[in-house]
Structure 1
Amino acid sequence: MANSVSPLHTSYVAGHHGPEGKIGVTLEEIEDFAMVQFSAWPNTLARTGTEAARIAGCATAASPGEAVLGKIGTLLRVEPLKWWLVAPAGSLSETPVLAPEDGAILDLLQSRVWIRVGGPKAEVLLNHFLPIDLRAAAFPSGTVASTGFHHVGVTLWRDQTGLNLLLPRSFAVSLWDLLCESALQYGLEVIQPER
């Protein structure tokens, strides 16, 4: 699976922005990753989930609203009949295959941009835009949600490193600009992606 060129390359400036000496939010684009969707039919849900978990290296498939970290990557249950596998680039040598009677697999890499949001004000920043209670008690590590960000459907999950957003590629620049502009008040650190 080939990685695409990020639409954000001309939109971000690495470094500190906002009040001097204050970093409330960090934003980082994760560029090198693989992303595959597993879709089950209603009568093959368990079988497709088991196969998705096997490929991700998870003990079990993620339940609705859950993100499970496996040996290969993170398996997100984004819809009742769908899982997304988000993994480091190169961890999947080729797109996995399902028998047509079991479900369908789709390579989604070209459709999404991955942004990691961190820092002590990450939840506050995201709550400017997302209608979700992001406090750790309500949205703990291993939780995933599909929601709206400025009228655009996005996927959010929390892992041990912080909050992660998967943005549709065609809206990534405008949503990135909104995040950066709003984060300035808290002190923003934009982390340069590794290339």
Structure 2
Amino acid sequence: MAEALSLNSFNSLKDFKLSAADCPIVQIEGWDGTLARFEASVSKALGVPLPAAVGETVRHADVLIVRVAPRRFWLIFETGIKPTPPTIDPELGCSVLLDEGRVRLRMDGARLQEILSKCVAVNWSSPAAAPGHAWHAAFHHIPVLLLRTAETACDLIVPRSFMRSLTDWIADSAAG
């Protein structure tokens, strides 16, 4: 996919950009009662310390590691290449490839907060919404992962089947 959306509403906006691309994700999860050993094993396998709290992120090469739940991590790959899930000790947890069902919407612009605030309630001044953090939100009852990448930029990881209606909604919010 990796194409810029060609919505007429966005063509006229000089201060806001929206693009969509495939989003290869590997989800890894630890079993209840194995968290410390699971985290040590995964950290060693990836060669980097894992995010400590839900919503924190760690970048390693072309992978963004996001702690999306207490025992669950998403490895979000920047390249469109289908990743190979890391080997996880089955006594400690599992891994699964999630890439087919999600798309990354990349948004950038001075009006980002204004536009997204029309779609979802976000406390932009909260430390949890600072650049480098992630959180789940619901857009019209659909779960979306927001990744704050910079002061005026973020990525939305959305179900592929919801991409068109969400981009239309954002376009309407930007035009209004």
TM range (shorter): 0.7 to 0.9
Residue of 120, 142, 148 corresponding to 2:138: 148
Identity of counterpart residues, as a percentage? 28
SS at match of 2:24: strand
After TM superposition, the score normalised by the length of structure 2 is 0.83
Which deviations, in whole Å up to 9, do the C-alpha atoms of 1:120-153 show, x marking residues without a partner? Answer: 0111111111222124766212211011011111
Cα distance change, pair 125–76 in 1 and its aligned pair in 2 (3 A): same
Identify which of structures 1 and 2 has the higher relative contact order when contacts are C-alpha pairs closer than 8 Å and 6+ apart. 1
How far is the alpha carbon of 1:164 from its aligned partner? 0.9
> How large is the Cα RMSD of the aligned pairs?
2.7
8 Å CA contact retained: 1:52, 1:61: no
Q: Cα–Cα, structure 1 residues 51 and 118, in superposed 2: closer, same or farther, change >3 Å?
A: farther
Q: Which moved more, 1:93-102 or 1:124-133?
A: 93-102
Using a 3 Å threshold, how does the CA distance of structure 1 residues 89 and 54 change in structure 2: closer, same or farther?
A: farther
Report SS of the residue matched to 1:68. strand
Q: Secondary structure at the residue paired with 2:115?
A: helix
Q: What corresponds to 2:156 in structure 1?
A: 165
Alignment-derived partner of residue 44 in structure 1? 34
Please report how far the alpha carbon of residue 42 of structure 1 lies from its aligned counterpart in structure 2 after TM superposition: 2.0
1:121 aligns with 2:86: no
How many pairs were matched up? Answer: 174
Query: Relative to 1, partners in 2 of residues 1:91 and 1:73: Cα closer, same or farther, differing over 3 Å?
Result: farther
What is the TM-score with the length of structure 1 in the denominator?
0.76
Moved over 6 A (4+): none
Counterpart residue type for residue 11 of structure 2? H
